[in-house]
Chains A and B, each alone.
Chain A
Amino acid sequence: MSQATEEPEQLQEIGHDEYNPIGTLALIGLYFVILVLLWLFVYFVEFLGNDPTVIGAVLTMVGLQ
């Protein structure tokens, strides 16, 4: 058994100016889309789709009550 974290093998040195975190943008963008879709689902199907709770359905729509 060797060290807990062996130094990862590095093939190249990428400096500040050569680096474009395009994969990060793609990943976070994808995450954001999933978030919005899930939220819409929970809001419209699970929340508004169920019977009104103590607060009325109209006020819920406005999002203020």
Chain B
Amino acid sequence: MSNAYIDKFPAEAKVVKAAFYSSFLALALGGVFGVIQTLHRTDIYRFIDSADYYTVLTAHGVFMVITFTIFFLVGVFTWAVTTSLDRGVEDIRFTWSWVGLMTIGTVMAGVAILAGFVDSIDISASVLFTFYAPLQAHPLFYLGLVLFVVGTWVAGADWFRSWWAWKKENPDARIPLPTFMVLTTMIMWYIATMGVATSILVFLLPWSLGWIETVNPLLTRTLFWFFGHPVVYFWLMPAYLLWYTMLPKFAGGKLFSDPLARVGFVLFLLLSTPVGIHHQYLDPGIAEGFKFIAMTNTMFLLLPSFLTAFTVVASIEHGARQRGGTGYFSWLKSLPWRDPVFAGMALAGLLFAAAGFSGMVNAGMNINYLVHNSLWVVGHFHLTVGTAVALTFMAVSYWFIPQVTGKELWNRSVALIQVVLWFIGMTFMTNSMHRAGLIGMPRRTAEPQYTGFEFETAVGSVGELNAQIALGGVLLTLSLVLFFANIIGTAFGSRSDNLPDNGYAEALSGSDDAPRVLDNLKLWTAIAVVLVIIAYSLPLMSIVDRGGLFGPDITAFPANLESVRFLAFAVEHLGTAALESAGTLAWNTLPEVIR
């Protein structure tokens, strides 16, 4: 008999497994679209119509950064809360309800996107994952997003419920670190999603249903980025959770400091949202002063970032020293590099460090002009979400999947090759994307080649850059194939008694050393809200002042579709009730969360 997660929490293990498998399905789809667009835009192999490129790109973006990442992280969070509080969820039907909501939402949005490939169906959502107006999607897409987000809200309520129930029984105990990380992340998420919820429910959905004529594109963009930066932390904080609480264990050491980890997460909660305008440095219609404030706030984020880097590396080093490592740098050799879980997570962290550099360039208001909307940005976020997050999630799956299925990993060597291949593939793809961006090659472009114009490279050539991008894309696809082979091989294996115990890393300096105030979630929520109000009220007011709440007259693209009229009718008469109850649910959970 082993002591794996599934042995202690069989019902919860099913939920976590369902979340992981959903996320892997999205990863597979996203990967297929990823390699198609890589080969297309580098002109290595084009078999789709260039007009369909944007449907492919939308599918890639949405499946990767909404479905894959978020389904995976709700699985991790469920594991983290149940494991660290050492109690099952309060009501498993409630838990399945949010899995259901998220699934229905994904299917709706996914169908709307994929229908864009079929000319005979007049449904499409080729609006890219940022869905800027005047690009317009079928209402099904927006409705799907809403249900998905509501699902995550209910999931958050589920974890808060667990914590409240636990607190009643343990009134004086510190919040266990993994649960603390889940709760702070979710508070951040509740604040952040107010932005998209408003953008979709008040503007974009009514607009796509034909209930309102126009929207103010700058307003909906700004509301998108109100959510768009913190969503980045919604992907990253689960990866940090794994780096802080699992990686030290895999390295053979202990977490360097529990208090530092708490401080880091509080700072991320406070600083994630009031910075979104740093994605809009080039948007006309937002005053430079507001952009400057966003930049200043962004620079403050360096603090928790370096804190995280220091604490995580120090914890790994602790492992290396316990394994006999010595010297300033040679301790690195004592780490368990043959373990795919450790190696994958560590390599993810290494590429994340590289992303720190391109991120600093993005963050500077003036130097951002150099790279804005160029392939540089795509290179940057394939290092962050595409590697720091995605590779961490894949690597840690080699630990999690046995935990939630009770089966041994099919093949460790394949797993090791897989994570290394991802690292190599991303190195090729992203270094060349950064360089291509520097010479001005645009992102989101099916055919970035122009008659009578040549990009000038200081070193190398455009052909060489494209070759590297394509080679990287192919290696990444290969890596994905190995990943799925391993997951499927494991799923079809038989139950094993020889599994590692469930658990997370101990701390060298534990929660007793952390000031009590760190656990005061009400205080941090209040400060976070105040910071958001300070950062956003004036910019939003001035945008509405200039462009009107519903904006100047803009023409939607594509033009209004036939099926929409039918759906508008249906939604009006049937859907409003559903929306209302979803809204009530949200409003009921929110005060509880803030309480």
Contacts of A60 in B (CB 8 A): 366
A-B contact pairs, 24 of them (CB 8 A): A1-B408, A1-B409, A2-B408, A2-B412, A4-B408, A4-B415, A5-B398, A7-B252, A14-B321, A15-B508, A19-B318, A21-B310, A21-B318, A23-B320, A23-B331, A24-B310, A24-B317, A26-B328, A28-B313, A34-B357, A46-B438, A53-B370, A55-B366, A63-B364
- From known contacts A10-B323, A14-B322, A21-B317, infer whether A42 and B500 are also in contact, taking CB-CB under 8 Å: no
Is B10 an interface residue when CB atoms closer than 8 A count as contact? no
Contacts of A31 in B (CB 8 A): 309, 353, 356
Q: Is the CB of B370 within 8 A of A42?
A: yes
Between A6, A19, A28, A54, the greatest number of chain B beta carbons within 10 A of the residue's beta carbon is seen for A19
Bound Cα distance A43, B362 (Å): 11
Between A5, A47, A50, the greatest number of chain B beta carbons within 10 A of the residue's beta carbon is seen for A5
Contacts of A64 in B (CB 8 A): 288, 292
B441 to chain A, nearest CB (A): 14
Q: Is the CB of A55 within 8 A of B369?
A: yes
B64 to chain A, nearest CB (A): 25
Q: Is the CB of B341 within 8 A of A4?
A: yes
Contacts of B288 in A (CB 8 A): 64-65
Is B329 an interface residue when CB atoms closer than 8 A count as contact? yes
Is B342 an interface residue when CB atoms closer than 8 A count as contact? yes
B331 to chain A, nearest CB (A): 5
Main SS at interface, chain A: loop
Q: Is the CB of A42 within 8 A of B318?
A: no
Contacts of A42 in B (CB 8 A): 361, 367, 370, 438
Bound Cα distance A14, B398 (Å): 28
Bound Cα distance A48, B241 (Å): 39
Is B250 an interface residue when CB atoms closer than 8 A count as contact? yes
Is B256 an interface residue when CB atoms closer than 8 A count as contact? yes
B270 to chain A, nearest CB (A): 23
Contact of B339 among A5, A15, A47 (CB under 8 A): A5
Contacts of A34 in B (CB 8 A): 357
Q: Is the CB of A39 within 8 A of B361?
A: yes
Contacts of B415 in A (CB 8 A): 4
Contacts of A39 in B (CB 8 A): 357, 360-361
Bound Cα distance A16, B412 (Å): 33
List 10 extra interface pairs beyond A11-B323, A21-B256, CB under 8 A. Answer: A1-B411, A1-B412, A2-B412, A4-B339, A4-B398, A4-B415, A5-B398, A23-B331, A24-B313, A28-B306
- From known contacts A1-B408, A13-B322, A23-B331, infer whether A43 and B367 are also in contact, taking CB-CB under 8 Å: yes
A18 to chain B, nearest CB (A): 9
Contacts of A27 in B (CB 8 A): 313, 329
Bound Cα distance A50, B341 (Å): 44
A5 to chain B, nearest CB (A): 5
CB interface residues, B 337-377, toward A, < 8 Å: 339-342, 353, 356-357, 360-361, 364-367, 369-370
Is B85 an interface residue when CB atoms closer than 8 A count as contact? no
Between A3, A38, A54, the greatest number of chain B beta carbons within 10 A of the residue's beta carbon is seen for A3
B323 to chain A, nearest CB (A): 6
Contacts of B310 in A (CB 8 A): 21, 24, 28
Contacts of B323 in A (CB 8 A): 8-11
Contacts of B408 in A (CB 8 A): 1-4
Is B97 an interface residue when CB atoms closer than 8 A count as contact? no
B497 to chain A, nearest CB (A): 11
Q: Is the CB of B508 within 8 A of A19?
A: yes
Q: Is the CB of A4 within 8 A of B361?
A: no
B234 to chain A, nearest CB (A): 25
Is B498 an interface residue when CB atoms closer than 8 A count as contact? yes
Q: Is the CB of B250 within 8 A of A5?
A: yes
A29-52 vs B, CB cutoff 8 Å, 1 = contact: the mask equals 001001100110011001100100
- From known contacts A16-B509, A39-B361, infer whether A8 and B252 are also in contact, taking CB-CB under 8 Å: yes
Contacts of A21 in B (CB 8 A): 256, 310, 313-314, 317-318
Bound Cα distance A47, B357 (Å): 15
Is B515 an interface residue when CB atoms closer than 8 A count as contact? no
